Amino acid sequence: MTTKPVSTSLFDPEILQQAAIDAFLKLTPQQQWKNPVMFVVYLGSILTTILWFQALGGQGEEPSGFILAVTIWLWFTVLFANFAEAVAEGRSKAQAAFLRSAKREISAKKLDEPRYGSNYSKVSGSTLRKGDVVLIEAGDFVPGDGEVIEGVASVDESAITGESAPVIRESGGDFSSVTGGTRVLSDWLVVRISANPGESFLDRMISMVESAKRQKTPNEIALTILLVALTLVFLFATVTLLPFSLYSVETSGAGHPITVTVLVALLVCLIPTTIGGLLSAIGVAGIGRMMQKNVIATSGRAVEAAGDVDVLLLDKTGTITLGNRQASALIPVKGVSEKDLADAAQLASLADETPEGRSIVVLAKQKFGFRERDVHSLGATFVHFSAQTRMSGVNLEGRQIRKGAADAIRSYIEDQGSHFPNELKTMVDDVARRGSTPLVVADGSRALGVIELKDIVKGGIKERFAELRQMGIKTIMITGDNRLTAAAIAAEAGVDDFLAEATPEAKLKLIRQHQTDGRLVAMTGDGTNDAPALAQADVAVAMNSGTQAAKEAGNMVDLDSNPTKLIEIVETGKQMLMTRGALTTFSIANDVAKYFAIIPAAFATTYPALNVLNVMGLATPASAILSAVIFNALIIIALIPLALKGIRYSPVGAEKLLQNNLLIYGVGGLIVPFIGIKAIDLLLVAMKLA
Amino acid sequence: MTSQGFMQIALYVITLLLLAKPLGIYMARVYQDEPVGLNRWFAWVEKILYRFSGVKPEQEMRWTQYAIAMLVFNLLGLLAVYALQRFQDILPLNPQALPAVSPDSSFNTAVSFATNTNWQGYSGEATMSYLTQMLGLTVQNFVSAASGMAVLVALIRGFIRRNTETIGNFWVDMTRSTLYILMPLSLILALVLVGQGVVQTFKPYQTVNLQQAVSYQAPKLDADGKIVTDAEGKPVTETVETNEQTLALGPAASQIAIKQLGTNGGGFFNVNSAHPFENPTPLSNFLEMLAILLIPAALCYTFGVMIGDTRQGWAILAAMTLVFVALIAVTVPAEQSGNPSLSALGVDQAAAAQQPGGNMEGKEARFGVVNSALWAVATTAASNGSVNSMHDSFTPIGGMVPMWLIQLGEVIYGGVGSGLYGMIVYALIAVFIAGLMIGRTPEYLGKKVEAFEVKMSAIVILIPPLMVLAGTAIALMMDAGKASIFNPGAHGFSEVLYAFSSAGNNNGSAFGGISANVPFYNFMLGMAMLFSRYWLMIPVLAIAGSLAAKKTVPVGPGTLSTHTPLFVMLLIGTVLMVGALTFVPALALGPVVEHLQMIGHK
């Protein structure tokens, strides 16, 4: 089925190798400045490096070996954060490279006149401008985004979607858009180019993938502010420790003041480096995960907004129900057996190639074992559906079997001087009330009964909606059906609400109304008439199979054209936020253990009583401080997979979710560093480094 | 804890919680301009005040206008108090003929009373004329409290309103707070206190003969009234013998009532509510203690009523109360267990019928350990700062709790208005982190918490620690700062840290143990008080403005409930984590090490 264009392995050696190199390249001040928390670590590392050189010169405040060890691990902290970001970017870059491979130099057949058969001149695809008309024949690449104005062809879009099955593109309707870089497999198309060079869908996707790291999302900005504030708090707390320590030494007459190396170590341990170091990786990875789900978001903001969606608008057809209605029951009038009705219905549908028609044949076969009869041997002539009669059927051996909408058959019967039975009218209404479409079958002037054509609700969709409800998202079904039908299907599918007889204006109004109430609305759409609603919605997912207008209006494009994808999009958006929140909590909770490691180590020479606080029983002051710094650096590496994959989202309701995450990342964050720091201390002692 | 102690604490907490609801409803109705007796009977007074001052009560203000009105009003108050002190020698109602107050002390006191800190570097009965006390300090006691309440009400309106630019009218909120809430409550309390023996008079100080001569050690004063210090900078003491005693009097009851109710805390007399004329009986002690937390606790309920969901108010009150009770449970036993060094000398410190037991140093015999410790926790939980015992003489842990409560940012009840708006800011931070953890843009009471709110909240949370830590650091680096410290060692460190914690969080209580009425401390503490009051109020008003302009998100199943026990725990966790992580190193070098040394760790 879907061939994923990029390896999904977290540890693709190629990416890791490149990321390791990038981690060093990112050591420039300009790069570091973008991340305020890590910039503090960066400055601290430079400071301790200078102190180390000073110590080498024999005037060190601490033994040079200790300063060196701290310095190395501080640099590692910076590098690990760079590495995390580089890994996330590497995965996106691989995606961009793949997309770019589709953007090869394509030569185009530019038509002199916008019609098939006109003369054309061969030009380079990159010179095409909006409004140019080109001919694309079998085997040609589509030179740019455009609208089919003539012709039908099968197109291989795997370069964009990774989907190997070709799709049909034709003029008019909802399947008229083609994307640059795809290839026409059969027949020909005349296409009007709709994008100037550098503005095509592919261009936008590539720039999106590449610039994903640069645009911060609103919540990311807010979180960064909070992290900067916390960093400042810890900066005050540590910087003022120097005068506090000087005074304490002076007043107690014992010990040495705290050294700058230890202060820097304490500062780096306390500031939220875990989340600070992984923050941008989380954002980049979020967009990357969308891409693995074959969704291209036009901005990180859109991905994040997806996590906040309150209301989800879904088209009935194709999303909630299978695209086509299927015959589900045969209801004969009194005096006619179901078998006779089935027989007539099947005969009337033998030549009907529509999915509905085929489903009638299949139903009759399933119920009564009628085999498909050879049409020609029956000597039958078929009456095809026409807009005037709104019936189809068959004439054979003096029988005239017709099937069609109730009012069409009614006038057909009444024209023959017969009477349309009341019983049948009730049956027709019953079927409609169930949300199905009634087809009436008549043999000559005699009505035989009703075929119930049912909208088949997709399997498992009800569970998906229940899941959404648990996430706190209200689902609204949009349909052109009448209220009665819509209500029945809405009940069967388990949506919360529906909009029947929907017009584009009604859709727009519904979205605006929810937005005025303060809700965030998501919707999926593919048709041109969806474009206004898509543009209004906060999260708008356009199907890749949809029209250019729909794609322009949306802020995400689903390459698989799978409308239920929205659920996954919402999950990804939520995961992104949750990962940030959880790692922030974890980061802050870690500080408790670090205080227990460093405070006694830093001040026990002045106040030996403080050794009581060394609850971890760390070997020496030097090993205690070093263990805390090493733990602080290693935890970044340890959490890279979590940052890239995102923490698991389960729709269990806000309260329970918070409780779970507080337990894991809050309480866990309190406990883990006690164990980790002690383990590192034991290791340092065992290796005789402390 | 003794069972009697337990009963007294329980009585206190239960009475407080019982009163929170009725008073909370009353205040909500006052602010929402619904008829509730006083505000109809005295509406004419309000009207005259507006006409006289040219205020148009129906005119709504944007947050910037609101902030400017508040700042201008506070500045005028500050200047008035400064001028009253500087010219009190030529102004009436000065029976003791007290001289004008020094410029640095006047500045400190003016700032202190305008900012609702009520730190007192001076000694009331030896410094301030009756006019200064009444017209300067008592008036500020009212209006500084009313300013805090006004800012809170503006913030609450930010939550209630949607898509609006305005957050109310400062003059109206201030006037109503004073006229219908602070004044009636103060009047009642003042009368009851007078009944208990608190003085209220314009008579000059009375001199009485003692039945037997008393000799005592007093710091030696030079001609200017300054303490004489020896070569090491320590005060020189001399033995004095006397037959008579001067009893300081004055219009005390009227000031004490509002000092307690408005979380001001500036005593009429130097020893504050330990003074028998300020706090004579156990009943007056109970009422004064109740008055400390009464309005801050009730405002939580007011908040719930005004936003239309009283559960939200209860949740915040619950968070405050839980921390409060937990910290009482630390301080009271710490004080009751006394000092192990004394036990080693064979001193019996157990509570018995004849003695209260525990650490009675610096405590009034008529209050005992429990009521002294309870007062200490209440006054530092609220930004009140009045004292009925000497915090400097508490056990290290017993003294650390009040200090830490102040350092938490005065949000456990906190100041009138300021405590709750501080706590709401913490709630915004808690909601922000919690919201991220459940995968939604965080929202509190239907308002999305976004970058701007986080930025302003960050300022609110950052400023007090900056003032406290930087102030303490500067004091300890300068000789002028170190010279004032009475006790060397870790305790001396605690004394400076406490002073800056108190000023930097607008509490105003003194640990004691440093001579703070010197230019260095008057200036440093004055600046700390100024910054931490207004640099918090302005961002809070900015949040109010920003919230009012937002639309309100309806509650859905994905919304995080902010009235559940889980959220209460999260809110407590946020407050304690920020407070702990910021001050643990400093506290380790002060009370923690002092405690460890006391219990025998070397």
- Among A238, A580, A588, whose Cβ lies nearest the Cβ of B436? A580
Structure ipTM: 0.91
- pLDDT value for B98: 92
d(CA A450, CA A217): 56
Q: Is A57's pLDDT higher than 70?
A: yes
Tally of CA atoms within 13 A in the half-sphere of B341 that contains its CB: 11
Joined together, the tokens standing for residue B329 give 């449970």
> What residues 464-493 of chain B have any CB closer than 8 A to a CB of chain A?
465-466, 469-470, 472-474, 476-477, 482, 488-490, 492-493
Determine whether the annotation assigns residue A390 to a binding site: yes
- pLDDT value for B576: 94
Determine whether the annotation assigns residue A203 to a binding site: no
d(CA B64, CA B136): 28
Q: Is B459's pLDDT higher than 70?
A: yes
> Which residues lie below 8 Å from residue A256, measured CB to CB, with a gap of 6+?
A249, A605, A606
**Predicted confidence band of residue A363 (pLDDT cuts 50, 70, 90):** confident
Mean pLDDT of A544-562: 76
Residue B208 pairs with which residues in a beta bridge?
A: B245
Ordered DSSP codes for B118-161:
---SS-HHHH--HHIIIIIIIHHHHHHHHHHHHHHHHHHHHHH-
d(CA A623, CA A615): 14
- Å from B497 to nearest chain A CA? 10
**Predicted confidence band of residue A536 (pLDDT cuts 50, 70, 90):** confident
The closest alpha carbon to A136, from A122, B344, A127, A126, belongs to: A122
Closest-CA residue of B relative to A590 is B581
- pLDDT value for A103: 64
- pLDDT value for B42: 92
Residue B579 pairs with which residues in a beta bridge?
A: none
> What residues 430-449 of chain B have any CB closer than 8 A to a CB of chain A?
432-441, 446, 449
Give which of A217, A221, A227, A248 to mutate to test B binding, by max B Cβ within 10 Å.
Answer: A248
Tell me whether B236 touches chain A (CB under 8 Å): no
d(CA A578, CA B504): 35
* CA angle at A627 for the pair A622 and A629, rounded to the nearest 5°: 100
> What residues 33-92 of chain A have any CB closer than 8 A to a CB of chain B?
none
| Residues A237, B552: C-beta atoms closer than 8 Å | no
Residue B267, Cβ density class (10 Å: 0-12 exposed, 13-18 middle, ≥19 buried): buried
- pLDDT value for A366: 84
Give which of A240, A539, A585 to mutate to test B binding, by max B Cβ within 10 Å.
Answer: A240
> So which residues of A are the catalytic ones?
315
d(CA A630, CA A269): 9
Percent of chain B with pLDDT over 90: 76
> Do residues A300 and A209 make contact, with C-beta atoms less than 8 angstroms apart?
no
What domains sit in chain A, N to C, each tagged with a CATH number?
13-95+210-293+571-631+642-687 (no CATH), 129-196 (2.70.150.10), 299-320+458-559 (3.40.50.1000), 328-447 (3.40.1110.10)
> Which residues lie below 8 Å from residue A254, measured CB to CB, with a gap of 6+?
A605, A606, A607
- Report strand pairing: A474-478 vs A497-499: parallel
d(CA B284, CA B256): 11
- pLDDT value for A387: 67
Residues of chain B in contact with residue A517, where contact means CB-CB under 8 angstroms, are: 554
> What residues 199-218 of chain A have any CB closer than 8 A to a CB of chain B?
218
d(CA A499, CA A501): 7
d(CA B584, CA B530): 25
Ordered DSSP codes for A483-530:
HHHHHHHHHHHT-SEEE-S--HHHHHHHHHHHHHTT--EEEEE-SGGG
Determine whether the annotation assigns residue A386 to a binding site: yes
- Among B439, B573, B597, whose Cβ lies nearest the Cβ of A578? B439
| Residues A608, B602: C-beta atoms closer than 8 Å | yes
The pLDDT tens digits for A250-280 are 988 888 899 999 999 999 999 999 999 998 8
Tell me whether A585 touches chain B (CB under 8 Å): yes
Closest-CA residue of B relative to A516 is B551
> Which residues lie below 8 Å from residue B480, measured CB to CB, with a gap of 6+?
B518, B519, B520
- pLDDT value for A372: 63
Q: Which residue has the tokens 């008529």?
A: B366
**Predicted confidence band of residue B516 (pLDDT cuts 50, 70, 90):** confident
The pLDDT tens digits for A89-109 are 887 777 777 767 766 677 888
> Do residues B598 and B341 make contact, with C-beta atoms less than 8 angstroms apart?
yes
- pLDDT value for B24: 97
Dihedral sign for Cα atoms in the order B137, B143, B144, B146: positive
Query: Mapped to the 3 state alphabet, what secondary structure does A533-563 carry?
Result: HHHHCCEEEEECCCCHHHHHHCCEEECCCCC
Task: Tell me how long chain A is.
Answer: 690
Q: Indicate the SS3 state at residue A336.
A: coil
d(CA A672, CA A680): 12
pTM of the model: 0.85
Tell me whether B564 touches chain A (CB under 8 Å): yes
The C-alpha torsion from B73 through B76 and B82 to B88, rounded to 10°, is -110
Closest-CA residue of A relative to B459 is A229
- Among B432, B580, B582, whose Cβ lies nearest the Cβ of A226? B432
Residue A368, Cβ density class (10 Å: 0-12 exposed, 13-18 middle, ≥19 buried): middle
Task: Tell me how long chain B is.
Answer: 602
> What residues 603-662 of chain A have any CB closer than 8 A to a CB of chain B?
603, 607-613, 649, 653-655, 657-659, 661-662
| Residues B455, A225: C-beta atoms closer than 8 Å | yes
- pLDDT value for A598: 92
Q: Is A5's pLDDT higher than 50?
A: no
- pLDDT value for A552: 76
* CA angle at A227 for the pair A225 and A233, rounded to the nearest 5°: 105
| Residues B469, A655: C-beta atoms closer than 8 Å | no
| Residues A218, B450: C-beta atoms closer than 8 Å | yes
> Do residues A137 and A182 make contact, with C-beta atoms less than 8 angstroms apart?
no
Joined together, the tokens standing for residue A245 give 């320590």
Determine whether the annotation assigns residue A403 to a binding site: yes
- pLDDT value for A174: 64
A:B CB pairs within 8 Å: 220
Determine whether the annotation assigns residue A497 to a binding site: no
The pLDDT tens digits for A135-179 are 888 888 888 888 888 888 888 877 666 566 677 787 776 677 888
> Which residues lie below 8 Å from residue A604, measured CB to CB, with a gap of 6+?
A255, A610, A611, A614, A621
The pLDDT tens digits for A609-659 are 999 999 999 999 999 999 999 999 999 999 999 998 888 888 777 888 899
> Do residues A436 and A454 make contact, with C-beta atoms less than 8 angstroms apart?
yes
Per DSSP, A611 falls in state G
- pLDDT value for A4: 43
Over its C-alpha atoms, chain A yields an Rg (Å, rounded) of 34
**Predicted confidence band of residue A376 (pLDDT cuts 50, 70, 90):** low
Tell me whether B461 touches chain A (CB under 8 Å): yes
**Predicted confidence band of residue A61 (pLDDT cuts 50, 70, 90):** confident
Dihedral sign for Cα atoms in the order B477, B478, B483, B486: negative
d(CA B399, CA B509): 12
| Residues B592, A308: C-beta atoms closer than 8 Å | no
Computed over every residue of chain A, the mean pLDDT equals 84
> Do residues A433 and A478 make contact, with C-beta atoms less than 8 angstroms apart?
no
- pLDDT value for B3: 85
Joined together, the tokens standing for residue A114 give 């916008």
- CA B71 to mean position of chain CA atoms: 20
Closest-CA residue of B relative to A608 is B602
- Among B437, B488, B564, whose Cβ lies nearest the Cβ of A581? B437
Determine whether the annotation assigns residue A352 to a binding site: yes
The closest alpha carbon to B594, from B398, B329, B327, belongs to: B398
Residues of chain B in contact with residue A661, where contact means CB-CB under 8 angstroms, are: 437-438
Residues of chain B in contact with residue A655, where contact means CB-CB under 8 angstroms, are: 560-561, 564, 566
Closest-CA residue of B relative to A243 is B473
Mean pLDDT of A171-190: 79
> Which residues lie below 8 Å from residue B487, measured CB to CB, with a gap of 6+?
B495, B513
> Do residues A435 and A485 make contact, with C-beta atoms less than 8 angstroms apart?
yes
Q: Indicate the SS3 state at residue A452.
A: strand
The pLDDT tens digits for B297-321 are 999 999 999 999 999 999 999 999 9
| Residues A244, B493: C-beta atoms closer than 8 Å | yes
Residues of chain A in contact with residue B435, where contact means CB-CB under 8 angstroms, are: 577, 581
Q: Which residue has the tokens 């602080």?
A: A632
Per DSSP, B113 falls in state H
The C-alpha torsion from B171 through B173 and B176 to B181, rounded to 10°, is -140
Determine whether the annotation assigns residue A545 to a binding site: no
> What residues 243-272 of chain A have any CB closer than 8 A to a CB of chain B?
243-248, 251-252, 266, 270
Longest dimension (CA), chain B: 76
Joined together, the tokens standing for residue B190 give 């003042």
Mean pLDDT of B230-239: 80
- Among B429, B559, B585, whose Cβ lies nearest the Cβ of A241? B585
Determine whether the annotation assigns residue A550 to a binding site: no
Give which of A233, A519, A603, A659 to mutate to test B binding, by max B Cβ within 10 Å.
Answer: A233
> Do residues B543 and B451 make contact, with C-beta atoms less than 8 angstroms apart?
no
Per DSSP, B550 falls in state S
d(CA B158, CA B164): 9
Give me the phi and psi of A459, to 5 degrees please: -60, 135
Q: Is A7's pLDDT higher than 60?
A: no
d(CA B389, CA B363): 5
The C-alpha torsion from A420 through A421 and A425 to A428, rounded to 10°, is -90
Mean pLDDT of A588-594: 93
- Among B434, B454, B477, whose Cβ lies nearest the Cβ of A658? B434
Choose the weakest-confidence range: A128-142, A307-321, B71-85, B390-404.
Answer: A307-321
Task: End-to-end CA distance of chain B: give it in Å, rounded.
Answer: 28
- Among B446, B477, B570, whose Cβ lies nearest the Cβ of A243? B477
The pLDDT tens digits for B237-287 are 888 888 888 899 999 999 999 999 999 998 899 999 999 999 999 999 999
d(CA B504, CA B525): 7
d(CA B593, CA B601): 9
For helices A218-239 and B565-587, give the axis angle rounded to 10 degrees: 30
- CA A225 to mean position of chain CA atoms: 26
Determine whether the annotation assigns residue A215 to a binding site: no
For helices B519-549 and B418-437, give the axis angle rounded to 10 degrees: 60
Residue A338 vs residues A343, A345, B89: alpha-carbon distances, Å: 9, 10, 114
Determine whether the annotation assigns residue A53 to a binding site: no
**Predicted confidence band of residue B215 (pLDDT cuts 50, 70, 90):** confident
Determine whether the annotation assigns residue A389 to a binding site: yes
| Residues B570, A662: C-beta atoms closer than 8 Å | yes
Tell me whether A381 touches chain B (CB under 8 Å): no
| Residues A584, B436: C-beta atoms closer than 8 Å | yes
Q: Indicate the SS3 state at residue A441.
A: strand
d(CA B283, CA B291): 12
